[in-house]
Amino acid sequence: MAAAATGSVDPMTDTLRDDNRLFVALDLPDNLRRHLGELAERLAGEHGGRAVPAENLHATLSFLGRVTPSRVPEITTELAQSAPSATIPARLDALRARPGGRASVIAAQIELESADDAAVLDRLRVAVGEIADVSGGSELERPIWLHVTLVRFGRPSPIANLPDVQWEQVFAFTGITLYDSHQRTAEPPRFEPVATVALETPA
């Protein structure tokens, strides 16, 4: 189990635009991100849709949306106090097309090795969501589904016979980061780090 963090968040930017689009994500190790990026390209070639670029791959913990900039320091303080202090071991479970039937995404589902870690992350998700007043709280009542979105479809598409994820070893998330998503016409969004908590490998 990863204990709660006692360190501070590393700020990545001094300014935050008013029309921000914030989310909190678990950062993947580089080798896994490269593997999933290659898999995303192959899946997009086989099923259509748009592959998510490898540099944008992450596991979303909480989508916050537009947040008043003056509230962001409170969010980063919560990250510093409540994020795990050590790396979180996890496994890739399987590829999933969501929602079922006619899918809008193909994602790699993630299973945590420890139920205690899952509880820590869920408390953090709810805490930062309440600070940001996410959907009046309704979004926070849904069970957490940890995954990495690999392919997005402009129109819902019937998806079947997905391959194996081809990654059996346990991996560890390297950090928890607050991002600002900059939407771009005809290009993938650019995710700007706002602040991050590094997760240290236990000695």
- 118 within some domain: yes
Cis peptide before 84 (omega within 30 of 0): no
Answer whether residue 183 shows pLDDT above 60. yes
- 9 within some domain: no
The tokens describing 12, both together, are 């990545």
For the chain, what is the domain count? 1
3-state DSSP assignment of residue 123: helix
Q: What is the phi/psi pair of residue 84, to 5°?
A: -60, 150
In the DSSP assignment, the letter for residue 88 is E
Q: What is the pLDDT of residues 125-145, one digit of tens each?
A: 989 988 888 655 556 677 789
The tokens describing 200, both together, are 């240290």
CATH number, residue 83: 3.90.1140.10
Q: Which of 83-87, 111-115, 186-190 bottoms out in mean pLDDT, i.e. has the lowest?
A: 83-87
Domain that holds residue 125: 20-198
- 8 within some domain: no
Average pLDDT over all residues of the chain: 87
- 6 within some domain: no
For residue 83, what pLDDT is reported?
85
In angstroms, how far is the first alpha carbon of the chain from the final one? 14
Q: In what order do the strands lie in the sheet with 171-173?
A: 50-51, 147-158, 102-112, 88-98, 171-173
Answer whether residue 122 shows pLDDT above 80. yes
User: Alpha-carbon distance 125 to 117, whole Å?
Assistant: 12
